[in-house]
Structure 1
Amino acid sequence: MTRLGPVYTLAAGAVMAVALGVASATTSSGTQTVNAQEDAAPPVARATTEALPEQEPEPEPVKTAKPTPAKADYAGRVTGNGGLIAISVRNGKAVGYFCDGKIEAWMKGKAADGKVTLSGHGKATLTADLAGGRVAGDLGFGGRKWSFKAPTVKKPSGLYRATALVRGANVRAGWIYLDDGTRVGLTLVGDKVADVPIPEPGQNAVVNGVEVDPQDVDEFIEGF
C-alpha cells in the first residue's frame, strides 16, 4: 500500500493536468470564435448623397425673320378710291406716295420682317405685307381707310418726286406711273394745287414756264 500511494498521486495529477489542458483549449477556442464573429459583422451602411446632373434649360424657339427685299419698287391701284399707290424700299428704309389727282399723301417709314410701315402728314398711315413680288395692305388717310395691292414695277414705271423754287414759290410735285400706262400726279405751287400736265416718263415737268426735273427714288430717298 505504501508503494502504490505515489502512483495514484501521479496518476491523479496527470488526469488533472489533462483536464486543465482541455479546459484551457476550450476556453481559448471559444474566445477566438467570438472575435471572429465580431470581425465578420456586416459594415454599417452610410448614407451618401450624389449630386444630380444639372438639367439644361430648353432653348427658346428661334424666330426666323421673313424675307424683306433690299431694293424694290411697287405701284398699283387703291381699291374703292380710284387713286394710285407707290412704295419703294431701299435697305430697310421705305417711302410711299398716294395720289388720286386731287389729294395726295407722302409717307415714310421702314421695311423689315416682310412688312412695311409708313406714316405721313394728315395722319396718313400705311401697313402692308411684302411677299410674292407684291405689296398688299391698308392705307388710312383723311379719316378713311382703303386696301390695296401693288406688284413690283421697273423703270420708267414707279414713283417720282420734284422739289424746286420757281419764281419765288416753292414747288413740290409727285407722280406715279404704272406698267399699263396709267399715271397720276399732283403739283403744288406754294400750298395750292397747280394745273401742271403730267410729264412723259424721263421728261421734265413745266411749272410756270420753268422746267422742273423729276427725281426717281434713288435720287431723293436719303433726304426724304
Structure 2
Amino acid sequence: MKRPGPLLTLLAGLLLGVFMLSLDATTGTKGTSYRNESPGVSVSPSSPPSPSPTRTTPSPTPSKSAPPNADYAGRTDDNSSAVAVSLRDGKAIAYFCDGRDKESWLRGDVKDDGTMKLTGKHGAELNGTLQEGKTIRGTVDLGGQRYGFTADKAVRPSGLYRATATVRGAKLEGGWIVLPGGGQVGILDRDGKPSAAPRIDPETGAVTIDGEQLTARPVTP
C-alpha cells in the first residue's frame, strides 16, 4: 500500500488545529457568559428614593382680643333717658339716667365677641353688644321696665362723668352723660334724694353745687 504524502499529512494537521482553536474559542465565550450572569436573577438599574411627603403646618388660629378702650353715649329708644358706657381692658361701667329721679350705675365684663351683661343695685341689668366697635346696642332693665338703647362711640368731651363731695354736711353724688352734640343728662343725689343735676363745663368738668365749685371727672372702670 502506498503511504500518504507529506502534503496530506500537513493538511490534516492544519485542519485539526483550526478545529481545536474554534472549539476553544466557543467554550471560552460560554464560560465568560456563565460567570457574569446568574440564572433566574434579573438586574435592573437602581431607582432614586421616593421623596418624603411634605408636611403642611396649619396656620395658627388668630386669637381674639378684648374690645378696644372707648366711651359710648346715647339715648333710649323712647327718648326718655340716656345711657353711657365706658370700656377699659375688658371691663365696663355704665350709667342710666333720666335726668329727674331715676338712675343706675352698672358694672361687669365685656366678652371678646363684644357682648356684655352689667349689673347694678336693686336688680338693675344692662345687656348689650358692641357692633363693629362703633355702637353699643342693648337694653336696660330697671324698676320693672325695659329700655332699649343705642349708644354711639363718643369723643371727648362727650362721655360719662361723676362727682362726689360733702358740702355743708350733705353727701353729694352727681352723675352726668354728655351726649354727642353737647346735650347733657344728669342727676344729683343729695343725701339719697335725687334731682336734676346742674350743667357741667364739659371742657373742665367744673360745676357749682350749693355755692361750692366741684369738678366732675370722666368715669372709667
Normalising by the residue count of structure 1, what TM-score does the alignment of the two structures yield?
Answer: 0.66
In 2, Cα distance between equivalents of 1:112 and 1:33 = 91
The answer to whether the 8 A contact 1:94-1:118 is kept is no
Among 93, 96, 101, which residue is 2:94 paired with? 96
Q: Is the 8 A contact 1:156 1:201 kept in 2?
A: no
Partner residue of 1:204 out of 202, 207, 210? 207
Residue 56 of structure 1: aligned partner:
56
**CA deviation after TM superposition for structure 1 residue 199, in Å:** 1.2
CA distance in 2, matches of 1:109, 1:86: 14
CA contact (8 A) 2:72 2:151 kept: yes
1:193 aligns with 2:196: no
Report how many aligned residue pairs link the two structures: 209
Residues 136, 22 of structure 1: CA spacing in aligned structure 2 closer, same or farther, 3 A cutoff? same
Task: Give me the whole-angstrom Cα distance separating, in 1, the residues matched to 2:15 and 2:124.
Answer: 126
How far, CA to CA, are the matches of 1:35 and 1:75 in structure 2?
105
**Mapping of residues 149-160 of structure 1, within 5 Å:** 149-154=150-155, 156-160=157-161
Distance 2:165 2:119 in 1: 21
Unmatched 5+ stretches in structure 2: none
Q: CA deviation at 1:84?
A: 0.4
- After superposition, residues 63-74 of structure 1 pair within 5 angstroms as 68=68, 70=69, 72-74=70-72
Offset at residue 175 of structure 1 (A): 1.6
Deviating 4+ runs (over 6 angstroms): 63-67, 110-114
* Highest RCO, 1 vs 2 (Cα 8 Å, sep ≥ 6): 2
C-alpha RMSD of the superposition: 4.1
Shift of 1:137: 0.9
2:20 paired residue among 21, 24, 41: 24
The 1:18–1:200 alpha-carbon spacing in structure 2 relative to 1, beyond 3 Å, is: same
Q: Is the 8 A contact 2:66 2:90 kept in 1?
A: no
Secondary structure of 2:22 counterpart: helix
Measure the CA separation in 1 of the matches of 2:67 and 2:189: 37
Query: Hey, what's the Cα distance between the residues in 2 that align with 1:214 and 1:114?
Result: 35
After TM superposition, give the deviation of residue 27 of structure 1 in Å. 1.5
SS where residue 18 of structure 1 aligns? helix
What TM-score does the superposition give when structure 2 sets the normalisation length?
0.67
Q: Is the 8 A contact 1:95 1:118 kept in 2?
A: no
Report the residue type matching 1:188 in the other structure: D
Q: Distance in 2 between matches of 1:171 and 1:120?
A: 23
Instruction: State whether residues 67 and 110 of structure 2, in contact with CA within 8 Å, keep that contact through their aligned partners in structure 1.
Output: no
Segments of 5+ residues of structure 1 without an aligned counterpart are none
